[in-house]
Amino acid sequence: MRGMAAKPSEKSPTYPITVISVFGSPHSFRIDAGYLIQMKIPMPEVTQNGQPDPLSMSISSLKGLLFRQWRNTWGLKPVNPSFIRLIFFGKLLDDQMSLKGKC
């Protein structure tokens, strides 16, 4: 996503995420704590070095982030984030689970 990747830092790990649209085209981006803080995404857990843990963000928060950063190449933008469905290895991800939970 344009502007989605914050500058990598030794203190904050960066995680790659690839989203495949219903049209079959993959879109890769990276998330890190700095960017998520800037976007006001809650990260309830911390890493071993005491930094906010990006993997503790909820699926619901990730959907909201995708919605705000929606690209025209992904097709029609949904009406709201609840219309976005995220599937990981054939399993529909629940909004309340964290990325750390099952991804």
Domain positions in the chain: 14-102
**Using 50, 70 and 90 to split pLDDT, how confident is the model at 8?**
very low
Chosen CATH of 14-102 out of 2.40.10, 3.10.20, 1.20.120, 3.30.70: 3.10.20
- Using one digit for the tens of pLDDT, what is the confidence trace for 62-103? 999 999 999 888 888 999 999 999 999 889 999 999 998 765
Upper half-sphere CA count for residue 41 (Cβ side, 13 Å): 28
Residue 90 burial by CB count (10 A; 0-12/13-18/19+): exposed, middle or buried?
exposed
For residues 17-23, give the mean pLDDT: 84
Q: Are 88 and 44 in contact (CB under 8 A)?
A: no
Q: Model-level pTM?
A: 0.81
Buried b (16+ CB within 10 A) or exposed e, 49-68: eebbbbbbbbbbbbbbbbbe
